[in-house]
Amino acid sequence: MQESSNPVLSDKAIKRLKATITGDEVMTVNGSLMKTGLLLALLIGVGAWSWTFTESNPDSAGILTLGASIGALVTAMIIIFTKPSAVLALIYTALQGVVIGAVSFLFNSDMQGIVLQAVSLTIAVTLSMLVLYTTGLVKVTEKLRSVIIIATVGVLFFYLITFLVSLFSPSFYDLVTTGSTGVVFAGIIVLIAALNLLLDFDFIDKGAEKELPKQFEWYAAFGLMVTLIWLYISILRLLAASRN
């Protein structure tokens, strides 16, 4: 399998998980997309509930988001280091739905209409990347893959540095998240997240071509959800920075 910048779909993770799976059924593109659709529906449903709950209980939003975020992270680690699991993929998505709903409500409370804009842009970007990939206008070559991987690692370091520096200098966080500087940084991150969709699509395509076990449909769907959630949050931050 080709290497992916998404840690969920990395070459090492795939090799380790493939060695633990038995069965004659193989992964298909349609099967992967259907499972992605199911996870997306769950994310939207739980997100809607979380929005309503946060609206009725605003004081609990912070605790709710923190608890669900930790739970989602732990679940993701379990999925990555064990076998692909439909149950765990559903649990991860539900927990992320709680986070997405609460965060979206808080953003929308400060900036009316921003969530609808973010959702619309996420859909538009995803469909655009899908068209670019399926039509062959953008081919996932080794060079492109390497660039995306390096850029994604760079974003991870950016997040880490921002967090560490902000502990000692809160003004630094405002510098990189608001104003023209914030818009530039947020725009770059959105672009990198969008490019990661190409690698996720390529993984599904190549996984079906190489006849990976059927369970990898859930794994691929889970990996694609990780990127979609990152893309949505990144677009939300870009819009917020633009308004500020």
What are residue 26's DSSP bridge partners?
A: 213
Distances (CA, A) of 99 to 46, 71, 124, 221, 230: 9, 10, 22, 19, 12
Convert the pLDDT of each residue in 61-72 to its tens digit. 888 889 999 999
Average pLDDT estimate for 9-26: 59
**Distance separating alpha carbons of residues 239 and 108, to the nearest angstrom:** 11
**Distance separating alpha carbons of residues 163 and 197, to the nearest angstrom:** 26
Answer whether residue 8 shows pLDDT above 80.
Answer: no
DSSP for 18-66, please give it: HTT---S-B--HHHHHHHHHHHHHHHHHHHHHHHHHHHH-GGGHHHHHH
Convert the pLDDT of each residue in 184-210 to its tens digit. 999 999 999 999 999 999 989 888 888
CB 7 within 8 A of CB 70: no
What are residue 213's DSSP bridge partners?
A: 26
Residue 23: its pLDDT value, please? 57
Instruction: Show Cβ contacts of residue 185 under 8 Å, excluding neighbours closer than 6 positions.
Output: 158, 176, 177, 241
Q: In terms of Cα–Cα distance, which of 180, 125, 129, 191 is closest to 154?
A: 191
Answer whether residue 2 shows pLDDT above 50.
Answer: no
Convert the pLDDT of each residue in 135-180 to its tens digit. 989 888 889 988 999 999 999 898 888 888 887 877 777 777 777 8
Answer whether residue 90 shows pLDDT above 60.
Answer: yes
- Structure-token pair, residue 120: 């619309």
Please state, rounded to an integer, the average pLDDT across all residues of the chain.
Answer: 87
Convert the pLDDT of each residue in 99-127 to its tens digit. 999 999 999 998 999 999 999 999 999 99
How many CB atoms are located within 10 Å of the residue 195 CB?
A: 20
Q: Which residue has the tokens 């940084």?
A: 185
**Distance separating alpha carbons of residues 94 and 173, to the nearest angstrom:** 29
- Structure-token pair, residue 194: 């969008």
**Distance separating alpha carbons of residues 107 and 102, to the nearest angstrom:** 9
**Residue 95: pLDDT band with limits 50, 70, 90:** very high
